[in-house]
Amino acid sequence: MLSLKPQPKKTTPSSTLRTRGRRRFSAWQLVGASVVLGILVLGGVAFALGGAISHAAWMDNDGGKHMHQNNIVSTIGGLNKISMVGSTENIIDANGKTVKVDANPYDVTAAPVSSGNLKAGDLIVNNWGAMGEGTTLVKFAGQKGTGHLFNISQTNIVDGPGQIAFSPMNDRLWVANSGKANDVVILTANGKNLATIKSPLFNHPWGMATNSGTWANMDYWSHDYYDAYMHHNVKIAFFTSNLNDGKILRIDVVPQNNGGPQFKVSQIGQLGVNANKAPTFIPLWWVPQLKAGGRMWQDVLLTGDPARNAITAFPNSTDSNYWNRHMGWRKGMVLFTGKPLNTPGGLALNPINGDLLVVNLADNNLLELNLTLHQVIATKQIDPMAVDAKGNGAALFGVLAVKDQWGNLKVFFTDDNTNSLNALSVS
């Protein structure tokens, strides 16, 4: 490689060397050497970094402003950033004013479609209230910013809201009212009350999940064609759990030839309750199929089971008579029990790998469980406060998993220690 430094003058006594003196480069030689050196330097940098760039990162379509890992983070073990989305206590009311409301956020869900005042992906959080007397649902548009009151049209419609769930086929939001109202209400995308469901089986409904309206082959799986008749050809069903008696209920949406649908409430399961008669928060999540115990189960309602410190399942949950006719009321199949479960308070499904995400009430940990392999994938503490024997300090009830804009796992969770909605994501 050419040197750009002039050679030092030799001190040898040779007269030939003395008369030669220092060698000088022309301007064109200097320019040429600079170009060659630049190419070599850049080539070396490219060689050193090229592999890393081609295998570990890619440029986003935002003009290269962000560099992201090409290896998608698919489990909670790879998430290392906790950020606050917004407060559920200090929100904007229907008149555009900042107000303080009875908070304690216990669940979070995302709008599946754009309609009315909602856009697909907007987050809705409930406020159960300090004594279970909350009256507000809070919307976070675009999954960020200041929370706005969602149920803006009527008063006394939302009462101690438990879990909430959208019907994936439309903009209807189902709310389990665990307070004095003791009912289930359906709200439109504009926060208006569409329907109120009453039932003598309700005993302060808490959990809420839906079969997504996709279960059309229930009679095939049960091999009992009477079910199709007894079930009124229902495809859409919602599920709820009672705070006070541990009953697992299904609400059938029965279509009518004229007018809106009717609702039929029936019991499909029975879980235990807390020995001290404190409210038993039984979270729900529905999956179309699940492989467990060497068998593929269909139409599965998953439940957190605090009394047994377990995750239980009710297969064929949309089948109107399956449990009643074949096995009677059941406590469900135990899929996972024991540590690291510590009073499960909320469930969600990892959209990337199908693992179950669980938040513990008794230690403020987030868990990821592979129910098929019966494996603990990861455990992560997401609220640092200690929980005492009476449950003081328990923060985690609501959890929701989505994909971020680059395909990585992102987890939203409610924290009632801080009265906020938060996000766990890649940094």
Report the C-alpha dihedral over residues 171, 172, 178, 183, rounded to 10 degrees: 170
- Candidates 227, 176, 215; CA nearest to 198 is 176
Q: Indicate if 108 and 236 belong to the same structural domain.
A: yes
Domain of 307, in residue numbers: 76-425
Distance CA 29, CA 393 (A): 74
**How confident is the model over 114-137, as a mean pLDDT?**
94
Q: How confident is the model at residue 111 (pLDDT cuts 50, 70, 90)?
A: very high
Q: Is residue 106 included in any domain, yes or no?
A: yes
Q: Is residue 5 included in any domain, yes or no?
A: no
Distances (CA, A) of 203 to 176, 198, 246: 11, 11, 9
Cβ atoms 6, 22 nearer than 8 A: yes
Contacts 24+ apart (CB under 8 A), 94-100: 94/149, 94/152
Sign of the CA dihedral 157, 277, 242, 384?
positive
The model's pTM is 0.80
Average pLDDT of the residues of the chain? 81
Instruction: Tell which of 69, 94, 114 closes a domain.
Output: 69
Quote the percentage of the chain above a pLDDT of 90: 59
- Model confidence at 228: pLDDT above 50: no
Domain of residue 161, CATH code: 2.120.10.30
Q: Indicate if 126 and 43 belong to the same structural domain.
A: no
Q: Indicate if 103 and 247 belong to the same structural domain.
A: yes
3-state SS, residue 43? helix
Q: Is residue 201 included in any domain, yes or no?
A: yes
Backbone angles phi, psi at 161, to 5 degrees: -60, 130
Domain count, the chain: 2
Better-scored residue on pLDDT, 303 or 318: 303
- pLDDT tens figures, 241-268: 999 999 999 998 887 777 778 899 999 9
Q: Is residue 6 included in any domain, yes or no?
A: no
Q: Indicate if 334 and 246 belong to the same structural domain.
A: yes
